[in-house]
Amino acid sequence: MRAPDGPDVMAGEVLLSVANVSLSFGGVKAISGVSFDIRKGEIRAIIGPNGAGKTSMLNVINGFYQPQEGVITFKGKARAKMRPHDAADGGIARTFQNVALFRGMTALDNIMAGRTLKMHKNLFWQLLRHGPAMVEEVEHRHRVEEIIDFLKIQEIRRTPVARLPYGLQKRVELGRALAMEPDLLLLDEPMAGMNIEEKEDMSRFILDVNEHYGTTIALIEHDMGVVMDLSDRVVVLDHGIKIADGTPAEVMKNQAVIDAYLGVAH
Amino acid sequence: MDILYKAFIDPFMQMGAAPDLFVQTLWDGLVAGVLYSLIALGFVLIFKASGVFNFAQGIMVVFAALTLVGLHEKGVPAYLALAITIGIMFLLAVGVEKLMLRPLVNQPDIILFMATFGLTYFLIGFGELIFGGDPKVMIATQLGLPRGAIDFKFAGGFVSLQKIDIAATIIASIMVASLAIFFQKTRIGRALRAVADSHKAALSVGISLEQIWVIVWFAAGLVALATGIMWGARSEVSFALEIIALKALPVLILGGFTSIPGAIAGGVIIGVGEKIGEFYWGPLLGSGIETWLAYVIALVFLLFRPQGLFGEKIIERI
Ligand SMILES: Nc1ncnc2c1ncn2[C@@H]1O[C@H](COP(=O)(O)OP(=O)(O)OP(=O)(O)O)[C@@H](O)[C@H]1O
Ligand SMILES: [Mg+2]
């Protein structure tokens, strides 16, 4: 657990709250009446066994899925319905469990695509490609290069992402999300399928993003060691139901959590 | 033996014997090819952005040309009619997005494909209702397109270039080039490629699918209008023009459904190949060759390059 900024996060203001959210697909109940909140500046882990509804929860938060029940309040504004575009515009960025990159583009262009909503010049200027749009493009390139340096992927910026190894693809995907300069960053298993060294790098990046940019992070992760190291608070889902919520140390001791992970019937 | 001679020797002897005719045929092929490129580009843009094969692309050509000529017949000055037609193509794009694509989002591609059939019949009916079904003459001169021909001496003969063809080639090339640059180099272009690669990732960075769809359908509408003017000027404006869409299919087979350079190069190859084939091998193969030759050219090409001209794979939508 991260001791230093623990206390002030505990007292911190709520950035996003999820109240009584339920989501089902036909007969399958993916989420049943789940409530929790994410405070400004914290790293909030969402854990649970396979099929617990973790990814579905992220999909609800960034507007991919519309919950049948419940209210989501982001930056003080409650909403019943939000489209992915509104979520992105409001400052929510994300990565995907199975990397979703623009496979035909270079790493640089992928990250550049993260700037989409930051570019405001109109079509006409886009077409002419000089004047303000050009200045703007240069400015955005500058920010993107910063991210590339930060993630240490300078050598691969011109490489089409389809050709990159999985670990680097995940890094590029993080870069694309960071390019959005989000207030809330949703990471769906950013370390899945990585070796120990890659995991350590990724953990470092996540901590740095949180500390240096003050970005609030919701993190889905299966590796308990990583969860203990990175997160301030943990919410535990099982079969679409919230079974525990608290600091990493608290939830690890929780009997319901232990049972869920050991597969005890309930 | 005789047939082998006629198929493999005689055509080349003819080419050598009358280079002026050969150049003339090349030119005719190039002109047709550039127009094929243009229409194939309309398909590619829409396919890239939404995974939809737009069956209505051909009828959009007719509809645009008919609107332009019809407005002029009703007394609207040519350039104003052109501007209004461009506006109508924009409204069509907005309408398609709002009434067709948006309600059908997340439906299987085949449903969207069927919806473009519906759009086709709507445009036919609507066009006929307002402007009538009779063939019309394209207002080429009123729009300032040149008439007549330039002849020049070549290798002891004459090559004749219709001025309208020269204009068509130039305009189509400019359009193709600016669309290609627009979609390769600008933010909108990057967004379009993003949407083509992954819908969910595009959505997650705030790209608006709706906006992209309007833009590509509008671009396809402009392409249709340009094609309608050029093609209409060479024959007449009627629903028969719709068959030009069939010419785009072999271009797409050759160039790939998602490749802009593929559409450009494919169009020229098909156009030139078709005219050369018709002229030199037509007598051997008999009439009607123009209806299928383009497909044969595309298929022969694919024998040697199965991945298509530029090797871009057809992208599955997720
Ligand atoms: N689009 C969908 N259509 C139908 N069912 C779905 C859909 N998405 C998720 N589900 C179902 O909802 C439940 C929760 O799935 P979800 O992907 O949210 O779990 P998860 O906690 O992310 O699991 P994992 O650790 O395996 O990624 C599962 O039963 C899953 O089959
Ligand atoms: Mg998941």
Atom of ligand 1 nearest to the CA of A54: 21
Residues A2 and A63 in one domain: yes
Ligand 1, atom 4, lies closest to the CA of: A25
- Cα(A238) to ligand 1 centroid in Å equals 12
A130 vs A128: CA distance, rounded Å = 6
The model's pLDDT over A80-133, given as tens digits with 9 standing for 90+, comes to: 778 898 899 999 999 999 999 998 889 999 999 998 887 765 545 555 555 555
Cβ A235 under 6 angstroms from ligand 1: no
Kind of pairing between the strands at A28-39 and A14-25: antiparallel
Q: Binning pLDDT at 50, 70 and 90, where does residue B311 land? A: low
Instruction: Using CA coordinates, name the residue in chain A closest to B312.
Output: A104
Chain A closest-CA separation from residue B312 CA (Å): 9
Residues of A in Cβ contact (< 8 Å) with B196: 104
Order of strands across the sheet with A28-39? A28-39, A14-25, A69-74, A77-79
Best of A25, A59, A85 to disrupt the B interface (most B CBs within 10 Å) is A85
CB B36 within 8 A of CB B267: yes
User: What confidence category does residue B191 fall into, taking pLDDT thresholds of 50, 70 and 90?
Assistant: confident
User: Residues with Cβ < 8 Å from B313, sequence gap 6 or more?
Assistant: B307
Q: How far apart are alpha carbons B317 and B106 in whole angstroms?
A: 10
Residue A96 lies in a domain: no
Residues of chain B in contact with residue A127, where contact means CB-CB under 8 angstroms, are 178, 182, 186
* 8 Å CB contact of A104 and B198: no
Q: Can you give the pLDDT at residue B152? A: 84
For B41-73, b where at least 16 C-beta lie within 10 A, e where not — what string?
bbbbbbbbbbbbbbbbbbbbbbbbbbbbbbbbe
The pLDDT score that the predictor gives to residue B1 is 66
> pLDDT by residue (tens digit) across B128-152?
888 887 888 888 888 888 888 888 8
CA–CA distance, A217 with A224 (Å, rounded to integer): 17
Is A53 a pocket residue for ligand 1 (Cβ < 6 Å)? yes
On whether both A40 and A79 belong to a single domain, the answer is yes
For tokens 């939809």, what's the residue?
B52
**Protein residue with its CA nearest to atom 26 in ligand 1:** A50
Q: What is the pLDDT of residue B316?
A: 44
Q: A102 and B204 in contact by Cβ < 8 A? A: no
User: For A127-171, what is each residue's pLDDT tens digit?
Assistant: 555 555 555 677 788 889 999 999 999 999 899 999 999 999 999
- pLDDT score for B172: 87
> In this complex, do A113 and B191 lie within 8 Å of one another by their Cβ atoms?
yes
Chain B interface, mutation test: which of A82, A103, A116, most B Cβ atoms within 10 Å?
A: A116
Position A55 scores a pLDDT of 96
- Does A86 lie in the same domain as A212? yes
Q: How does residue B159 score in pLDDT terms, banded at 50, 70 and 90?
A: confident
Among A157, A181, A205, give the residue marking a domain's end.
A181
**How many domains does one find in chain A?**
2
* A56: CATH: 3.40.50.300
If you take atom 12 of ligand 1, which residue's CA is the nearest one?
A: A30
Q: Are residues A71 and A198 in the same domain?
A: yes
Task: Enter the tokens of residue A167.
Answer: 């670990």
Taking alpha carbons only, the member of B248, A215, B298 closest to residue A205 is A215
Q: Which residues from A are below 8 Å from B203, CB to CB?
A: 64, 84-85, 88
A83 within domain boundaries: yes
- Which residue type does A54 have? K
Query: Is A205's pLDDT higher than 60?
Result: yes
Helices B57-73 & B19-50 angle (0-180, nearest 10): 100
Residue A24 DSSP symbol: E
The domain in which residue A155 lies consists of: 102-181
- Tell whether A20 and A85 lie within a shared domain: yes
The domain boundary, picked from A123, A151, A181, lies at A181
How much distance in Å is there from the Cα of A179 to the middle of ligand 1? 28
Give the residue-averaged pLDDT of A207-219. 94
Between these two residues, A186 and B183, which has the higher pLDDT value? A186
Mark whether A165 and A205 lie in a shared domain.
Answer: no
Q: How far apart are CA A178 and CA B263, in angstroms?
A: 35
CA of A189 to the centre of ligand 1 (A): 14
Q: Are residues A108 and A129 in the same domain?
A: yes
The residue type at A89: D
Flag whether pLDDT at B47 surpasses 60.
yes
**Average model confidence (pLDDT) across chain B:** 85
Residues of chain A with pLDDT > 70, as a percent, come to 87
- Domain assignment of residue A264, yes or no: yes
The Å distance, Cα B39 to ligand 1 centre, comes to 43
Judge if the beta carbon of residue A51 lies within 6 A of ligand 1.
yes
Check whether residue A151 and residue A265 sit in a common domain: no
CA dihedral B160, B265, B63, B57 (to 10 degrees): 150
**Ligand 1 pocket test: which of A34, A55, A187, A235 has the largest number of ligand atoms within 8 Å of its C-beta?**
A55
Percent of chain B with pLDDT over 90: 27
Same domain, A1 and A86: yes
Single-letter amino acid code for the residue at A254: N
Question: How buried is residue B241: exposed, middle or buried, by Cβ count under 10 Å (0-12/13-18/19+)?
Answer: buried
List the structure tokens of B249. 């299919």
Among residues A125, A152, A181, the one where a domain terminates is A181
With 0-12 / 13-18 / 19 or more C-beta atoms within 10 angstroms meaning exposed / middle / buried, residue B193 is buried
Q: What is the ipTM of this complex?
A: 0.86
Question: A102 and B193: CB-CB below 8 Å?
Answer: yes
Looking at the fold, whether A157 and A213 belong to one and the same domain comes out as no
Report residue A99: phi and psi, to 5°.
-20, 125
Q: What is the pTM of this model?
A: 0.80
- CA of B170 to nearest chain A CA: how many angstroms apart? 20
- Ligand 2 is a single-atom ion; what residues have CB below 5 A from it? A 55, 97
CB atoms within 10 A of CB B12: 11
| A52 touches ligand 1 (CB under 6 Å) | yes
Is residue A230 assigned to a domain? yes
B80-117: per-residue pLDDT in tens? 999 999 999 999 999 999 999 888 877 788 888 899 99
On whether residue A64 sits in a domain, the answer given is yes
Q: What is the pLDDT of residue B110?
A: 87
- Nearest CB to B197: which of A104, A119, A176? A104
| Candidate from B178, B182, B205 with C-beta closest to A180 | B205
CB distance A129 to A165 below 8 Å: no
Burial class, B212, CB count within 10 angstroms (exposed 0-12 / middle 13-18 / buried 19+): buried
For B41-71, give the DSSP string. HHHHHHHHHH----TTHHHHHHHHHHHHHHH
Rounded to whole angstroms, what are the CA distances from B78 to B84, B134, B144, B203, B236? 10, 20, 9, 41, 17
Q: Tokens 């052109």 map to which residue?
A: B82
A39-54 pLDDT, tens digit each: 999 999 999 999 999 9
pLDDT confidence band for A9 (50 / 70 / 90): low
Amino acid (1-letter code) at residue B69: V
Q: What's the first-to-final CA gap in chain B, in angstroms? A: 54
Residue nearest to atom 2 of ligand 1 (CA): A25
With a pLDDT cut of 90, the percent of chain A lying above it is: 65
Residue A185 has pLDDT above 90, yes or no: yes
Cβ contact B204:A84 at 8 Å: yes
Rg of chain B over CA atoms, in angstroms? Answer: 21
Binding site membership of A25 for ligand 1 (Cβ less than 6 Å): yes
Measuring from atom 1 of ligand 1, which residue has the nearest CA? A25
| Average pLDDT estimate for B231-242 | 81
